[in-house]
Every structure is written in C-alpha cells, then in structure tokens.
A = this chain, B = another copy of it.
Amino acid sequence: MSFSPPSDKAMVPFVSVENMMHLIHHVGIEKFLCELTDVIEDDFRRWESFDKTPRIASHSRQGVIELMPTSDGAVYSFKYVNGHPRNTIEGLQTVTAFGLLAEVSTGYPVLISEMTMLTALRTAATSAMAARNLAPSGARTMAIIGNGAQAEFQALAMKAVCGIETIKLYDIDPRATEKTRRNLAGSGLEVIGCCSPQAAIERAEIITTCTADKQFATILTDNMIGAGIHINAIGGDCPGKTELHRDILLRSDTFVEFAPQTRIEGEIQQMPADFPVTELWRVVSGEAAGRCNPQQITLFDSVGFAIEDFSALRFVRARLAGTDLCQNLDIIADPDDPRDLFGMLQRCRQ
C-alpha cells in the first residue's frame, strides 16, 4: 500500500470500555465522582449558553434508542443510548451508550468514548449535585430502592459528595441487594439490606429510586414519605415508566433538568402540563430557591440530560491528558487536497 497514512486531524481519540475503567481507577472512583459533580455543576451554572433540545427518541415495542445532542457554541457533543428493560433476560445491558465530542468550528470529532460506564457515573454525579443543593443538611442515611446497575454508583457519589454514611438497600430480588452489599463492602459505607421498602426508608433522609421495569409502577406511596425527605427519582425516565405515586408529587417541590423533556419522560408525565417545577440550573446559579425549610419534601425528577453527558465527555477528555488510555481511530477521511476524496480512494488501490 503506497498511500500516505491518515493525518493527525483524521485520527480521533477513542476511549474503550477497558480504558474507561482504567481511567476511573487511575483517578480514583470517589475523586472521579467528586470532580465530575463539580464539572456538571459548573455547566449547569452556565445553562443558558447551551443549545438545548429534548432527546431524539426512536421507540419500539422492546425499548428505545436515543440521540442526545448539545453544544455550547465551541464544543458539540452527542450520546447514543438505548433503554431496553427486557435485555437483562438475555444477559444484555438495559442501557448501553457511547458518545462523541466535536469542534463546532470545523465539525471534526475530537473524542469518541464508551459511555455505558460513564453514564452510570454522570447519573450518580448529577444526583449528588442535586442532593447537595436540595437534601436536608446533615443527611447521613440514604435508602436505595432498586439495586441494579446504578445502585453502587449512587451510593458512592452520595458518600463522596454529600457525606452519606449509611446505605439501606431494597430490591424485589434479594440477589440484587446482596450483589450491591457485596460490591460496597470495603467502601467505608455502612450497608444494610432490608426486606421491604418501608424498612429501607426508615430514618433515611434521602431516598433514591432506581428500578428498571418499564411500567407505571408505584415504588413509593404517599404514606411512606415523611416531612423533610429528599427524593432522588432516577428510574422514571421515559414515557410509560414512573416510580412514584402522584400524591407524592402533590406534596413535593419538584426540581428537573430540562422541563420540556422531563414533562415527557419523568415522574411528572403523570401530572398536568402546567404542573409547577423548578429547573435545577436555576437553583445552582442562585436564581431560584432550593430547600427552604427542614419540613419540605424535595424531589429531583431525574431523566438525564445531554448537558450532563457533555460535561462528562469534557471531563474525560481533560483527564486523559498524560495517560495512554485511548487509541486512535481512523474514522475521518482526510485527503491531502480536501477536494480530492476520489484521488485518495484511487491511490489506496495503487
């Protein structure tokens, strides 16, 4: 082959799953979560500088495939992510994802990365950021209802960012609880497996719901929720999938990422279109009040938003510097003369 090798611009750094895991350990998982929380909060503080659009979803009977783009005018990102609740039956992930950063000025990709792992971390970091702004001060105990792929990440983010010391676990499948307990051994958290949701939420100041079934479920009913609680609702994140009884929403102050998207996908899909919510960026930037008194019930109705992925990809890109934890991907055709794409193809044959 006599054609010239691809130029630097044509090579896109790629972070594989294996390299992402190495990067997380290289930084340290709790430090990674703390720094990522700060990066996401910084981007929420400049929320108005981003292009925002509800994600573009392709729904099927089995699940959904989504594209989540955003841009701050200098950097563009998107994430490809699926949600297929029944995948686990076949031993597959419910959610897999990858994403990209590109230069707005040229349109050239500058990073492609796995995001299954990274999405778990950014979701946990976003939850921790919300809790830091909304949970009662001095909260030390969190209940986690639904002990699937998100559970440990949520636990460690709340420990590292908010000072949570005790995690109380419940899942309809005791093996999921046992898996989570085992994984959190040695984390420094006190971990208590519980036999009912009621037992799990007793004395918890924060309740995280992250169940996977795609249905209108009622993981929490109104009588379970006492005054002063912060609810971190992760699992109600697409049309037809909710976790909370609507009476809880009526007693809570509800905080969301991007209202137009959350009204379609979040817990508030159960409520009228004018149900009052506060976008979290307004709390972070000081424009709106978060928690006003110790009796208030705060609810973070989290569905995941493109800006969080943007933050996570930028953080990964910065953290890759000085490591060898990426490969170069020959994904951009870059002929010597940009008008001579055909010549590049011809020379490849010679």
Q: Flag if B107 contacts A348 (CB, 8 Å).
A: no
Interface flags, A16-39, vs B, CB<8A=1, else 0: 111011101100010000000000
A90 cross-chain contacts in B, Cβ below 8 A:
106
Assuming the contacts A87-B106, A329-B14, A333-B17, asked whether A116 and B62 have C-beta atoms less than 8 A apart, the reply is: no
Q: Do A92 and B106 have beta carbons less than 8 Å apart?
A: yes
Residues on the B chain within 8 Å of A17, using CB: 6, 10, 330-334
Take A67-B56, A149-B340 as given contacts and tell me if A332 and B116 are in contact as well, using a CB distance cutoff of 8 Å. yes
Is A53 engaged at the interface, CB distance under 8 Å to the other chain?
A: yes
Instruction: Judge whether A109 is part of the interface by a CB distance below 8 angstroms.
Output: yes
Q: Are the CB atoms of B341 and A149 closer together than 8 Å?
A: yes
For the complex, what is the distance from the CA of A76 to the CA of B339, rounded to whole Å? Answer: 31
Task: Check B335 against A98 for contact (C-beta < 8 Å).
Answer: no
> Which residues on B sit within 8 Å (CB–CB) of A65?
69, 71, 76, 102, 104, 107
Stoichiometry, copies per complex: 2
In-complex Cβ contact of A341 among B53, B116, B176, B332 (8 A) = B116
A73 at the interface (CB under 8 A from B): yes
CB-CB nearest in chain B for A336: B91
A120 within 8 A of B: yes
Contact-size category for A: 35 or more
Q: Tell whether A107 pairs with B102 under 8 Å between CB atoms, given A51-B58, A342-B183, A348-B25.
A: no
Taken together as a complex, chains A and B put the C-alpha atoms of A51 and B182 apart, in Å, by: 44
Residues of A within 8 A of B (CB): 6, 9-10, 14, 16-18, 20-22, 24-25, 29, 51, 53, 56, 58, 60, 62-65, 67, 69, 71, 73, 76, 78, 80, 82-84, 87-88, 90-94, 96, 98, 100, 102, 104-109, 114, 116-117, 120, 147-149, 151-153, 176, 179-180, 182-183, 329-346, 348-349
A-B pairs with lowest CB-CB distance, top 7 = A82-B107, A116-B333, A152-B342, A16-B330, A21-B348, A149-B341, A148-B339
